[in-house]
Chains A and B, each alone.
Chain A
Amino acid sequence: MAEEKDLRKAKEAWEQGTLAKVTARFPERKAEFTTLSGMPVERLYTPLDTAELDYERDLGFPGQYPYTRGVQPTMYRGRLWTMRQYAGFGTAEESNERYKYLLEQGQTGLSVAFDLPTQIGYDSDHPLAQGEVGKVGVAIDSLADMETLFAGIPLDKVSTSMTINAPAAVLLAMYIAVAEKQGVPSRKLSGTIQNDILKEYAARGTYIFPPKPSMRLITDIFAYCSQNLPEWNTISISGYHIREAGCTAVQEVAFTLANGIAYVEAAIRAGLNVDSFAPRLSFFFNAQMDLLEEVAKFRAARRLWARIMKERFGAKDPRSMMLRFHTQTAGCALTAQQPDNNIIRVTIQALAAVLGGTQSLHTNSRDEALSLPTEESVRIALRTQQIIAYESGVTNTIDPLAGSYAVESMTNRIEKEAQAYLERIDKLGGAVAAIEQGFIQREIQESAYAYQRAVESGERIVVGVNKFQVENEQPPEIHKVDPEVERRQCAKLNELRANRDNGKVSQVLAELREAAKGDDNLMPYILESVRAYATLGEICGVLREVFGEYQPAVIF
């Protein structure tokens, strides 16, 4: 190409002339510039860096394959993203109040945080639950708590996201049962369960069962929902926590999509047609500090997933190829030092998510490196989204950074490097095998350790932490969880056990046990157990008996 040749010449001339003159007198600040993830960044990107790009093949149009520019044809000109603040703490009553407050403040979807005993399938009076009840989220022991949690919130009018994984089937069953009591048929329910066990093994740690039965529970949910909850996102394949554990942007894309591939393969093996469940798969990514890298990451993930679904799995339904995702700003980027600075960090991260075309967004509160957020901090975080949505102007046109030589070049690079990881993971036997062998964990840890060293050596600046510190900071107001929560929750649980029909409970649990030993879809059995007010701990206890518990690989 003649033009390319001319441009190359012109660039060389610039480098040797104008540029060289300046750098001779004023050298650049560093010899090498890299993204937050350590990806090299050039001084200048020009059409030469995107010469390989074929517009129609690689970018296309919004709402069309390969969806690089967005999954909807109008994006935020049609409807803004769902502003969804993750919340939940203490008892169901307190969380219910917070949800109503958030809805009044203009939030458009709920996002439920559960406490750790709930996430690991223990009742609040289990010995391991001591000290943890109601701490990082709401404590749910039975349908009774779930009824309280959504009291006065019509479930056909909100979409609800639940961060629940190992016991996802149980919490989904409780949600369905609450809806029944409200007179809302399950077909009308919309929302998401995280239901992504593979990243629990790899990064987040709230697993219960070994991979095989866990994958069965997941495919049972896929099958059940395709029949009964057509509007429900059956899984939120999450890179968020993998990134929080310290990996790079490329690794976040690669490991998340590798897990996605594993779920698709498991569902196909379980006899499902790809287009029957793939449209309900959703994703969940992190928005970190490096604005351009993050925007490129979201775009690359979209394109790569579309290609995987079409080429590898032969999906026909365009919705199967669309990578729809929720974003949360990076918790690990928040600093305990000068916490107000976090408002600015969150703004940049949220902007990256919006410029990257997210479908929903959680913005972290400034005080989350210290404790659970106060109501005031949560409001500022929500206002950050609203300011981006209504004042910044970035929502007026679709995928505004497309065509930027830098962003397109980074998008290509992230896609290519993630693709290379996927090939390595395939060679290891897929994501499950790669996790069991510790490959993914080791890769994450290497990145986390490299980052920590870069911060400690001062090679990477974190404002307020290793530069621009202040002495004698005043600790800000923080949110406190009432220590009485645990006692109250245990008292409620005792009352429930005393007043329900315990004969019925034993019967439904016995049926669940038998079903778990066989290969029936477990959802109807779990739903029956929930309706009889069997507790989460009892239901998971039965499954623990049959399935055993996961033993983590120790990787350093």
Chain B
Amino acid sequence: MERPIRVLVAKPGLDGHDRGAKVLARALRDAGMEVIYTGLRQTPEQIVEAALQEDVDVIGLSCLSGAHNHLFPRVTQLLKEKQAEDILVLGGGIIPEEDIPGLLAAGISAVFTPGTPTSAVIDYIKEHVKR
């Protein structure tokens, strides 16, 4: 049996708009993945610790409030400190084009902006999961 890919879907920061995160969670489930949903208002510390406890392959971060430049790199930095860079980190939400290079440089593997079909995220995960 092929093992299901495990994905942690989290909303860092205070933003309560979870439509995108929830639609994606369902799409990932329907693509055969196990999605650990951690809900709203998560700190980067909570997200990383949960990801380690759950032994996930992927962390999906969604943020629509504009706090992504602060929150996303903090997640990758903590992963590095815990020597868990093998976890793929994806970002989504209202993220201006000009912020994307900085996020990629900080270790976010890919950034998905509004209008991205869920199938693109699924394909990306399947191709890039690191183990």
Q: Measured between alpha carbons, how far is A136 from B14 in the docked complex, in Å?
A: 11
CB distance from A403 to the nearest CB of B (A): 37
Contact A445 B94 (CB under 8 A): no
Q: Is the CB of A481 within 8 A of B37?
A: no
B18 on the interface (CB 8 Å rule)? yes
Task: From the candidates B14, B70, B114, B117, name the one contacting A336 in the complex (CB within 8 A).
Answer: B114
Given contacts A370-B94, A475-B98, contact A116 B114 (CB under 8 A): no
Q: Does A337 contact B (CB under 8 A)?
A: yes
A204 touches B16 (CB 8 A): yes
- Chain B residues touching A, majority SS: loop
- Residues of A311-330 at the interface with B, using a CB-CB cut-off of 8 Å, are none
A128 contacts B43, C-beta separation under 8 Å: yes
Query: Which of A117, A371, A462 has the largest count of B CB atoms less than 10 A from its CB?
Result: A371
Contact of B39 with A by CB under 8 A: yes
A556: contacting residue among B16, B19, B25, CB under 8 A: B25
**Residue interface mask A365-407, B partner, CB < 8 A = 1:** 0000111100000000000000000000000000000000000
A135 at interface, CB cutoff 8 A: yes
The chain B residue sitting closest to A444, CB to CB, is: B19
Contact with B along A68-93 (1 / 0, CB 8 A): 00000000000000000000000000
Instruction: Please give the number of chain A residues whose Cβ is less than 8 angstroms from any Cβ of chain B in the complex.
Output: 45
- Chain A residues closer than 8 Å to B113, beta-carbon distance: 336
A132 pairs with B115, CB closer than 8 A? no
How many contacts between A and B, using CB within 8 angstroms? 102
Provide the bound-state CA to CA distance between A337 and B97, in Å. Answer: 11
CB <8 Å contact, B17 and A205: yes
Tell me if B66 and A481 are in contact (CB < 8 A).
yes
Measured in the bound complex, the distance between the Cα atoms of B105 and A160 in whole Å is 43
Q: Compute how far the CA of A475 lies from the CA of B97 in the bound complex, rounded to whole angstroms.
A: 7
Q: Which residues of A contact B96 (CB under 8 A)?
A: 370-371, 475, 478
- Look across to chain B and name the residue whose beta carbon is closest to the beta carbon of A119: B14
Q: Is B71 an interface residue (CB 8 A)?
A: yes
Q: How far is the CA of A130 from the CA of B44 in the complex (A)?
A: 11
Known A-B contacts A245-B19, A475-B96, A475-B97; A131 and B118 likewise in contact (beta carbons under 8 Å): no
Q: Contacting B37 at CB < 8 Å: which of A207, A332, A462, A554?
A: A554
14 CB < 8 A contacts A-B: A132-B13, A204-B16, A205-B17, A205-B40, A334-B114, A369-B115, A445-B22, A449-B27, A456-B118, A456-B119, A475-B96, A552-B40, A556-B25, A556-B37
4 A-B pairs with least C-beta separation: A205-B16, A131-B70, A131-B67, A116-B14
